[in-house]
Chains A and B, each alone.
Chain A
């Protein structure tokens, strides 16, 4: 009994400590488990945030992402292997299946050694491209660390990235510089809405294969901000796949290293803070949205809540309460600066697309609402909030309602329309004339008779 209770309390505690919105089981894949101590601060930070970190070698026999057809882990952190691949249990197919089952993945790359072809083909599936020879490294003669890479210029020192666009929330910004040693750059396919760069290389950066003495002009494919140091992909099921170009940035020694750019002051890196931001986002501790409540009703007092039928030209109110998860709690969601949460009232195509305004706040959510008049078209419509933005999990709320035509007793009465008065008068004069005619027909004596009689 006591054992039972203890277990219950344990479960409860675990639930309280589980900080990610989507589970706490984290598998870190590390080829050389001896290397574990190199990232000790990272493991400690993750465990402190409530993750249940298990570190496995890709060669391990019992390693499997799935158990009884279900995910065995919620999150996957892959550190770059030195060998050709990630082993039989981490093939690209397994990893994509893991994502399809809502698992999140953070993949770290390194420019130190060529990236394995298995990883490269996995990234190609997601439209993330590596350099052709898979062993490129980013250098920048303007933003490098003069203390540790005075000769090779391959330790980039960069500011944390601001917002990607004015209408996108910045999840990774802040003061301080990052040290990114030996970055394996990625370029992103331009057609995918699911991909978003997290950290781009500066304009003067370029990538080259350090095995070659001098980069030939033809070898340079991408330069400057086309090179991504960290990129993110969020699938349609909101599973996240994050690529970090420099695994060394996660090492203990870079978490608080002193760096100096050619033109700058000597400062301490904020890699540890950035690692928290990055793993937090990658494992769904930030940027997770939840719809608590959807309400729609007529704009009259005491109207029925969420009716299944509306009439055309009804004034309608729509409310949606949205929460955002920030590390360990749900907070009211705030739409980023130039962005809008939009409601569509659609039948095949939207008849209305309206910006929802925040109207009230609860402890954990913001209520966004708008008021509109249903179109003068009857049919099956749906209230649709389709909020898909970079770095936020998708919101897709669809509530179907019928919009009916006027009932026969909802039209204005005929006397209320001045244009119809003539016909009303016509109708009633016909009726009056009829009554008079009935009297005349019944009781009129023939005149001729009278004439004859008088004669």
Chain B
């Protein structure tokens, strides 16, 4: 562990958060939104906030989750339209999508540290480093450990779904 910390401290000179070029809308989010904003404005604001503040890696993860929602939704729609025979196939196909979604959401919660939890750039390098370390201490796991758990859980999910689809 000390070696890792050392490595981190050496590289912290170059902050790697994608939000650094546009710090303003992030730090003063509520301020730019007027109190009497319309629903469309709120939605647009939320979307912009999301698109600009979310790290790219998390966006990729979100894209995968969107894919899972699409696949699950199609399967559910097919079940509604064409009937649920064979029901076990429906359950396993649909729950594979849902289960994968849930697992991916867990992974996102454990790895998207710089999204909502961190207050980058404005607090400087030490703050950024301390924040990251703080998060790791809070969850007790590194991103990679979370990812290994994710793979383990996914494989079990896949086994059960394949077993159940017959």
Contacts and interface: CB of A to CB of B under 8 A. Distances in A.
The 5 residue pairs across chains A and B that have the minimum distance between CB atoms: A423-B93, A448-B18, A420-B89, A426-B93, A423-B89
A445 to B, nearest CB: 9
Interface of A: 408, 411, 413-414, 417, 419-420, 422-427, 429-431, 433-434, 437-438, 440-441, 444, 446-449
Given A414-B89, A448-B16, A423 B94 contact: yes
A417 B89 contact: yes
B85 A429 contact: no
A446 B97 contact: no
Interface residues on chain B, size class:
35 or more
Contacts of A444: 57, 60
A444 B18 CA distance: 15
B71 A429 contact: yes
Interface string B81-97: 01101101110111011
8 contacts: A417-B86, A419-B83, A426-B72, A431-B158, A441-B57, A441-B61, A446-B57, A447-B18
A424 B89 contact: yes
B64 interface: yes
B96 A430 contact: yes
A441 B96 CA distance: 20
A426 B147 contact: no
Interface in B110-166: 147, 151, 154, 158, 161-162, 165-166
Interface of B: 16-18, 55-57, 60-61, 64, 67-68, 71-72, 74-75, 78, 82-83, 85-86, 88-90, 92-94, 96-97, 100, 104, 147, 151, 154, 158, 161-162, 165-166
A438 B89 CA distance: 25
A444 B57 CA distance: 8
Contacts of A434: 100, 154, 158
Given A423-B90, A426-B75, 15 more contacts: A414-B88, A419-B85, A422-B78, A422-B93, A423-B78, A423-B92, A427-B165, A430-B68, A433-B67, A433-B71, A438-B151, A444-B60, A446-B16, A446-B18, A448-B56
B60 A433 contact: no
A438 to B, nearest CB: 7
**B74, B104, B166 — most chain A CB neighbours (10 Å):** B166
B16 A449 contact: yes
A413 B89 CA distance: 10
Contacts of B92: 423, 427
A447 B17 CA distance: 11
